[in-house]
Amino acid sequence: MNWRLIISPPLDGATNMAIDHALARMVAAGDSPPTLRLYRWQPACVSLGYFQPSSAVNQSACAHYGYDIVRRPTGGRAILHADELTYALTVASTQPGFGGRILSTYRQISLALLAGLHNLNVTAAWSAGHAATSASAACFDTPADYEITVRGRKLIGSAQTRMRGAILQHGSLLLSADVARLYAVLNLDAAISSTSLAERMIALDEAAEQHIDFDTCASALVAGFCTTWHIRFTPGELTSAEATLAQTLRTERYANHAWTQRR
């Protein structure tokens, strides 16, 4: 089976979210193939989950550091996207192997992610029995079922949505982590300290005991998807229709301050 692979240059948060939303819509309509997009963020950005209140973010701290704020089309909790690899997977819900419930799809994707991390000599596992028990605003505070951990600490935070016959799943793999900055830009419960947050999350450089750059990480993850799902990727770019829809979504939604702050 052939999938499309898009590796994007670093983009701002509103553009990244608009592209992923556009891809999901086009896949649902049957106008685009199943797609894995890997990308970065410029400038760094705090993303809110779709249902998360905007009060979870310390907006003055974001302004101080020059960070964007965006609301994702997927659920979950807030993430600071800085030195990381983000994946967005868009596939029709009718695609064989993807018609089950959200957790079964999480499991499918996590198997591929684990294989990719194995290519980087990182021994990781998925979590179980942790789903949605923490009230913290931080995504990396607590792993949900089938999210990726190393020695019990969360390495990849993922979130999924179903929209009009398509599945969109986002995932954030920190290449390195600045826990102090993450702590500063989120309004966390007083019981959560920067130290306790650091003990619950882990970045790839610590997990691998060496720095791994974006391109090396991307290659390893792509290979993990290929071997696990028995698929092939064709490198590609956005079509003109996808780019046009993404621009519309960016203007009307993701770069719209009122929409971002609506909760």
When divided into structural domains, the chain yields a total of: 1
Q: Give me the pLDDT at residue 128, please.
A: 67
* Residue 28 structural domain: 2-256
| Residues with a known catalytic role | 139
**262 domain-assigned:** no
Cβ neighbours of 199 (radius 10 Å): 12
Confirm whether 261 is domain-assigned.
no
Q: Which tokens in the block code for residue 38? A: 């890997």
Within a domain: residue 190? yes
Q: Tell me what pLDDT residue 144 has.
A: 55
Would residue 34 count as lying in a domain? yes
Q: Output phi, psi for 125, to 5 deg.
A: -145, 170
Q: Per-residue pLDDT tens for 60-85?
A: 999 999 999 999 999 888 999 999 99
User: In this structure, is residue 63 part of a structural domain?
Assistant: yes
pLDDT for res 136: 52
Domain assignment present for residue 263? The answer is no
pLDDT at residue 132, rounded to an integer: 46
- Residues whose CB is less than 8 angstroms from the CB of residue 156 and which lie 6 or more positions away in sequence, other chains included: 113, 147, 148, 171, 172, 173
- Between the CA of residue 69 and those of 28, 82, 181, 183, what are the distances in Å? 27, 12, 14, 15
Paired sense of beta strands 166-174 and 84-92, if any? antiparallel
What's residue 129's pLDDT?
55
**Positions of E strands within the chain:** 2-7, 35-39, 45-48, 68-71, 79-81, 84-92, 125-126, 148-150, 153-163, 166-174, 232-235
What is residue 127's predicted lDDT score, i.e. its pLDDT? 73
CB 95 within 8 A of CB 2: no
Question: In the prediction, which pLDDT does 262 show?
Answer: 84
Radius of gyration of the chain from Cα atoms? 17
Per-residue pLDDT of the chain (263 residues; tens, 9 = 90+): 689 999 999 999 999 999 999 999 999 999 999 999 999 999 999 999 999 999 999 999 999 999 999 999 998 889 999 999 999 999 998 888 787 777 888 889 999 999 999 999 999 988 765 444 445 544 444 445 677 899 889 999 889 999 888 999 999 999 999 898 998 998 887 767 778 888 888 999 999 999 999 999 999 999 999 999 999 999 999 999 999 999 999 999 999 999 998 88
Q: What is the CATH number of the domain that holds 232?
A: 3.30.930.10
- DSSP per-residue letters across 158-224: EEEEEETTEEEEEEEEESS--HHHHHHHB---TT--HHHHHHHB--HHHHHTS---HHHHHHHHHHH
* Domain assignment present for 168: yes
pLDDT of residue 114: 95
